[in-house]
Structure 1
């Protein structure tokens, strides 16, 4: 189904929900986590022996509280199921619908498969959101933490709506974009997750302090992330206009956002100079302030213990920002924060090398 048809369907669904809300008392309206569709799915080979999977479309809420939809996977262990739930929050895949991991195994990254396989091997059901706008109508609010957080928590609600035997206890495990979203989810859990009980959050190489990082991105091989992040802001704040920030050579490459996913986007923008990426080679202070507003976790208190994992050789999320800035920010609150540095690990290998460590930590949280 193409984007136009999805937009029409979304509009029709919104009209139907509005009609239902008029016809029934507010308490009877569809709640976040409500499963709209559910179908069996073929999992990557690394996971198919461990779990059965269903691809779902479910209700979530936007950062304004409006109804929105998201897709994702619910993975159920074939053996040893113990009714606990772990929400897996994936790293960056792209902005377009074809970049939804639940529908495109090519962007269900190898490191994510290893991490999820370890979770399944412990008997935990895994709820893995795509986030809004990846596989559903509307733009993807990339790196907007409050959007990711709601979709993550609502994926757990959706999993429980499919399987009433699942416990109300859950843990969140995320990488990169997902690590950032996991931290935001921890911040809102006590007011948003209803009768669920968040036991802890693991965040591997989480994006943070974007206003500190962004000024150094133009002219580097990582600058495709910045282009995506500008459009992520624009999805929730029309005051951020990417076309006024990007230079002409960068604008010429914008079609890749619709036709490609992460690797194609990074490749397209890799060799531009700073001046070819953004006007004057510098991201405006007003835009940096928006990054800080929407993308930076640790602005409010977490509600459950936190594990932070960071590779020392990470070039996408700098080690010094995580270790030297984010961790102290989190430690200023009352919840316990454990920090684990993975020596010489990159952005992706930190996930692989910490899979056992993270799962062991989650097990202690459930215990």
Structure 2
């Protein structure tokens, strides 16, 4: 984007900000306080050159080998790199995608290099400024990427297309294809390929783990591996994964559908958002995209509004998009560990269970391991199951045989469920005074 376009975007955003409800404005200001390097429009890293237009998928486009770690709130004795690579959108077109690499001080070392965990993040938003590589805490911090790095794995994490890099090499605005799991899986595989080309000291072997939107990416990666095998892939972990958004109960189903609309429109040019959105729903989605709202502001703006027309699920383009992006009932290759909390109100465990059952009915020899977590909701599924997925990842790198448990193993808690912290009730912020780190 040129300077004049950036100024115009900034002015339009400021004008729209005035019309926001107080709660949404406060939330938006909080989200902006989490940016590590200002807006992506002001960070030259996220701009790609026209010369990269014809780069093949998996090609490294840009690399910041050593990022100033003091701009981020990452654990002590970890280092950060950022990179941009070429990926493929749902329709097969080339698209540049950004991401980060989190380096442990002393990585686990295989015979051919450092062990890789590819992290697929949960929903951060629909706009470029919602990219995890752009946020001080890299979005899911100690819930996944930090803990993996602290256990000695080099963490390769992609932002997904449309988050971070705003425009492609031709200057066209990139749409974030929200919940298009096959597209996100492309980003993960091509991101690993590009990172390995930048850093030859990395092993060829890697495991993918994702949560929520990223759990869908991990599941889709296992499905992609059955169609387009990638050397070095050892398996995937899907925690609280998205599988079939249309099967979710409302209001979650409506929230997910609104987020998917830009991706549907990008895939099917004949589709018009007004075909399924109410006038107020159209207004809210436009506002979300124009102010660059991320997750918390988006949920604030969507709550309490009749977003969709009564018959929206019957729309032919919604149905076609669903067929292209749904997880479950498709062949997988390699081991896949799925874990889901039984009190998850963001993505239903019963929908995941149905997707597991459909997969096993069609492909009974699948190396699929399904674990249910009683009394656990959406985000805590990552921490409740951390011991399991850490051990599982370690076993994959150790080359141990997989013994899948198809029947939905139920994890038991040491103490009564009511005794446990139910939700995330803290956030990470940079210290500004000496006594805050003592």
TM-score range, shorter chain: 0.7 to 0.9
Aligned with residue 252 of structure 1, among 255, 266, 283? 283
Q: CA deviation at 1:278?
A: 1.2
Is the Cα contact below 8 Å between 1:211 and 1:289 reproduced in 2? Answer: no
Aligned with residue 66 of structure 1, among 93, 113, 128? 93
Q: CA deviation at 1:243?
A: 2.1
In structure 1, the partner of 2:147 is 118
In structure 1, the partner of 2:208 is 172
Is the Cα contact below 8 Å between 2:98 and 2:160 reproduced in 1? Answer: yes
* CA shift in 2, pair 1:42/1:337, >3 Å: same
Q: Tell me the SS of whatever aligns to 1:283.
A: helix
Aligned with residue 106 of structure 2, among 65, 75, 79? 79
State yes or no: 1:36 paired with 2:62: yes
Distance, in Å, in 1 between the alignment partners of 2:204 and 2:81 is: 20
Aligned with residue 386 of structure 2, among 330, 338, 355? 355
Is the Cα contact below 8 Å between 1:99 and 1:261 reproduced in 2? Answer: yes
Q: Deviations over 1:173-211 (max 9, x none)?
A: 0011111111111222355465x3211110001111223
State yes or no: 1:210 paired with 2:242: no
Distance, in Å, in 2 between the alignment partners of 1:271 and 1:17 is: 44
Q: CA deviation at 1:94?
A: 0.9
User: Mind listing any 5+ residue stretches in structure 2 that lack a counterpart?
Assistant: 7-40, 168-173, 399-438
TM-score by length of 1: 0.85
User: Mind listing any 5+ residue stretches in structure 1 that lack a counterpart?
Assistant: 22-28
In structure 1, the partner of 2:307 is 277
In structure 2, the partner of 1:142 is 178
Is the Cα contact below 8 Å between 2:58 and 2:191 reproduced in 1? Answer: no
In structure 1, the partner of 2:160 is 131
In structure 1, the partner of 2:295 is 262
Distance, in Å, in 1 between the alignment partners of 2:162 and 2:62 is: 16
In structure 1, the partner of 2:377 is 346
Is the Cα contact below 8 Å between 1:50 and 1:117 reproduced in 2? Answer: no
Distance, in Å, in 2 between the alignment partners of 1:99 and 1:46 is: 16
Aligned with residue 258 of structure 2, among 218, 227, 233? 227
* CA shift in 2, pair 1:42/1:284, >3 Å: farther
Q: Deviations over 1:45-79 (max 9, x none)?
A: 76332521111111112234332100011111112
Is the Cα contact below 8 Å between 2:182 and 2:220 reproduced in 1? Answer: yes
* CA shift in 2, pair 1:202/1:248, >3 Å: same
Tell which structure's C-alpha radius of gyration is larger: 2
In structure 1, the partner of 2:26 is none
